[in-house]
Amino acid sequence: MKLLKKPFLFFYVINTAFLVLNSHSVFAIQQNTKDTSKDSLMYYVRLINHPQKSLDLTKAYQYFKTHKEHALRKDKTEIVIYDLFQMSRINYKGGFYTDSEELAVEALKLLDQLDETTYNKLLKKSIYTHLGIIYREQNNSQKALDLYNGTLKIAETVEDSIILFNNRSNVYKDGKAYKMCQKELLKAYSLIPRTKDTLTIALILDNLGYVNTKFKEENGLPLMLKALELRKLLRATPQTYTSYRHLAEYYKTQNNIKSAKEYALKAYHLAKTINSTSYIEDALSIMVELGDDNYAKEYKTISDSLRNTKQLQENRFALIKYDILKKEKELQKSEIKKERIIIGSSFLFFILILSIVLLKTKHKKDKLKAVYNTETRISKKVHDEVANDVYYAMAKLQKNPDDKGALLDDLEKIYDRTRDISKGIGTIDMTIDFNDLLYDLLISYKSNGISVIASNLSKMDWKGVDDIKKASVYRVLQELMTNMKKHSQASIVVLSFKHAKSKIEIDYKDNGIGCNLIKNNGLQNAENRMASIKGTITFESNINDGFKAKITI
């Protein structure tokens, strides 16, 4: 536990409370800090400041997330910024430093769009301070110092400047750069005559005294004792605890174990009074370090309990946060899908109307020819494949009327043929990802004797290609694959996809028996389809040298 950060964190918590209490008109909440209603914003701020149960951070996160969404709908930017700030703090306490930083930066960006009011300046200082905490916790001292430098530029009060110098000193203290730490604290110390804030004065006296003892300066101990006197006078319990701890550490370095134990014991009893488990653990750790084994068992029990509670708290928060983000992504995908369906439907409707008009006015003959060709092709398929199979099944039935098993096998084959014919002429569902459609098509031709390889298909981007062109590509590939399965005797088929400038190229190659190129109905249909979308397809084949085709659109 890095207790030397406590004065810094105390100011941070006080600053947060000040934000809430001084924004009555913004958040429309009562200034009664004793309000414990579970509908109260202050209730959840306290859960963040002092989480006690494993679900406290989760409850606070869900509250401020809902609060932010409500503020977004009402276009209340100041509330959105405040909620982002609190969500950032929760993420920090839950161990999600990157998420915490992103939320804080998002809040600052929104804040920059607003007028520079007293409240907005205070909020900006608090967010900067919080970012400093994040960077300091991640040992990114330079970023933390940069943040505090930026905050110093907008500091308006002596108290602000004193606290910021103290924060900078803490960064240096973390890196054991005590000379630089002392330098920053002396800047703060020089401003003490200009402030009446006794707690702030005590903070600087205590920290400066503690650092001065590192250099064996005579005023180190008197400064810490003066800070303790002021804190006890104000009954500032958490701050008094820090004084006791510093004094215990000081006497330990002086090998005055008796005095060190005396102040460590005072810190322990004060922690019990505060009823802070983390303070109790810290005080016990000092007692154990000083060789007092009477407190070792209690220290281990509390330390294990704290560690388990913190881990459980972070795990539950992480799980709930994951579920929330997952639902958000699913909702976002659903909305995008709906939008795409609407846009796609509108586009298809427009294309349909346009096609009808064009077909009626300019391409009536082509339409009739296409219908005739399609009917002829379907008729031929039905005659050559289905009708022949039906006739064969009938003949077999007449010869062996009791062979039901064979009849069922024949009927299954007929069913498969009719399904394939239907699939070959049916509509293509363009709402499905086109790469997935092509992959399903190509893989359907794969068998024990045929390997189908689709190279770079997953890398293709079809967003700029309209549905008619994609449908034509689909049918041409279907024609090529069917031709391969029927005639080529190939064992390997390779299709390579690539973008070539503004065009798409597809290379087909198999290791079949090849042929002397004669454009039958299938290859002619493929050429016609590509010509209709202003694309091209070329064929290349020789006997015993496989079959090749190149599609360009």
Residue range 216-229: mean pLDDT, rounded: 95
Same domain, 189 and 142: no
Which domain-ending residue is among 234, 250, 273? 234
pLDDT band at 390 (very low <50, low <70, confident <90, very high): confident
Give the pLDDT score at 217: 93
Q: Is pLDDT at 39 greater than 70 in this prediction? A: no
Domain span holding position 44? 1-24+36-156
Mapped onto helix, strand or coil, the DSSP state of residue 436 is helix
| Residue 295 falls inside a structural domain | no
- Residues 6 and 119 occupy one common structural domain: yes
CATH number, domain of 93, equals: 1.25.40.10
Q: Which residues touch 55 (CB under 8 Å, ≥6 apart)?
A: 313, 316
* Structural domain contains residue 330: no
Q: Is residue 340 a part of any domain in this protein?
A: no
Highest mean pLDDT among 85-94, 204-213, 483-492: 204-213
Residue 305 lies in a domain: no
Place 408 in a pLDDT band, splitting at 50, 70 and 90: low
Give dist(CA 341, CA 348) in Å, integer: 10
* 356 part of a folded domain: no
Of 198, 217, 234, the domain-final residue: 234
Please state the pTM of the whole predicted model. Answer: 0.47
Angle between helices 220-233 and 237-253 (to 10 degrees): 160
pLDDT value of residue 25 = 34
d(Cα 254, Cα 480) in Å, to the nearest integer?
90
Q: Which of 107-111, 181-185, 428-432 has the lowest mean pLDDT?
A: 428-432
Residues 59 and 81 in one domain: yes
Would 548 be classed as within a structural domain?
yes
Residue 514 has pLDDT above 60, yes or no: yes
Same domain as 413, residue 457: no
- CA 276 to chain CA mean position, Å: 34
Question: Total structural domains in the chain?
Answer: 4
Tell me which of 523 and 170 has the higher pLDDT.
Answer: 170
> Both 2 and 132 in a single domain?
yes
Per residue in 163-179, pLDDT (tens digit) is 889 999 999 998 899 99
User: Which two tokens mark 251?
Assistant: 């006497």
- Kindly state whether residue 316 falls inside one of the protein's structural domains: no
Looking at the structure, tell me whether residues 8 and 110 fall in a common domain. Answer: yes
460 and 386, same structural domain? no
CATH number where 452 lies: 3.30.565.10
Same domain, 420 and 440: no
Do 437 and 416 belong together in one domain?
A: no
What is the per-residue pLDDT across 148-206, written as a single tens digit (0 to 9) for each?
A: 887 888 788 898 899 889 999 999 998 899 999 999 999 999 999 999 999 999 999 99
The pLDDT value given to residue 501: 85
Tens-digit pLDDT profile for residues 232-252: 999 988 899 999 999 999 999
Residue by residue, DSSP assigns 470-532 as: HHHHHHHHHHHHHHIIIII--SEEEEEEEEETTEEEEEEEE-S--------HHHHHHHHHHHH
Mean pLDDT across 397-423: 65
Phi, then psi, of 500 in degrees rounded to 5: -125, 95
| pLDDT of 101 above 50 | yes
- Portion of the chain with pLDDT greater than 90, in percent: 37
Please indicate, yes or no, whether residues 381 and 501 belong to a single structural domain of this protein.
no
- 330's CB contacts (< 8 A; 6+ apart) are none
- Rounded to the nearest integer, the mean pLDDT of the chain is 80
Instruction: Give residue 404's pLDDT.
Output: 65
| Residue 304 pLDDT greater than 60, yes or no | yes
Q: At which of 234, 249, 277 does a domain end?
A: 234
Lowest-pLDDT range of 49-63, 132-146, 244-258, 482-496: 49-63
Residue that wins the pLDDT comparison between 330 and 375: 330
Both 383 and 499 in one domain: the answer is: no
Residues 71 and 101 in one domain: yes
* Residue 445: inside a domain: yes
